[in-house]
Amino acid sequence: MKLLCLSLTIIAFAIWPVFAQDEGGKLTKAPDFVLEDLDGENYRLSENIGKGPIVMNFWATWCVPCIEELKQMKRIYKKYAEQDVQFLAISIDDPKTVGRVKSFAKSHQYPFKVLLDTNNEVITLYQSKVPPFTVIIDNDGNVTYTHVGYRMGDEKKVDQEIKQLFDK
């Protein structure tokens, strides 16, 4: 029975992105997920859709570009602090390095929710494998923006995308 449940779960995760893609293979609907935050509480994406845009940034403590991008995300977070934008910093640190995440986030004073994707299941659902990776989701659960990597200035596009969601 356990094997059957595991098989069905694997199949569901394998075919979900196919149904949530446009003709070009681009992800259009945000796949739901549940991840733990740094306090051990569960965060479920579907319970937060419709409460304002959601900016997800996948990162790791060992990723230098991620750390630079998260500095910029803090600035954008502060800009939209009075509006209903949710920022999620999703760590993909593996079980060997995940112990560093809480102290790392605290020392960098990340004001946003930090979630743990230690098995890389969620980053894979969103069709990436490497950080930094940014995803923006609108109020209807549509993926409106994705970007892999970070170069100085990339944060301007994130800011612009959030602004466009409020202008609609």
> Cα 6 vs. chain centroid, distance in angstroms?
25
pLDDT in tens, 65-98: 999 999 999 999 999 989 999 999 999 999 999 9
Report the sign of the C-alpha dihedral through residues 100, 66, 47, 94, in that order.
negative
> The pTM is what?
0.83
Q: Place 167 in a pLDDT band, splitting at 50, 70 and 90.
A: confident
Region of 135 (left: φ > 0; alpha: ψ -120 to 50; beta: rest) is beta
pLDDT of residue 18: 40
The per-residue pLDDT of the chain, averaged, comes to 86
* Distance in angstroms (rounded) separating the CA atoms of residues 78 and 49: 21
CA-based R_g, the chain, Å: 16
Q: Span 2-167: which CATH code? A: 3.40.30.10
Domain ranges across the chain? 2-167
Alpha-helical segments (H) within the chain: 2-19, 64-79, 101-107, 121-125, 154-167
* Distance in angstroms (rounded) separating the CA atoms of residues 164 and 80: 13
pLDDT in tens, 25-64: 466 899 999 999 999 999 999 999 999 999 999 999 999 9
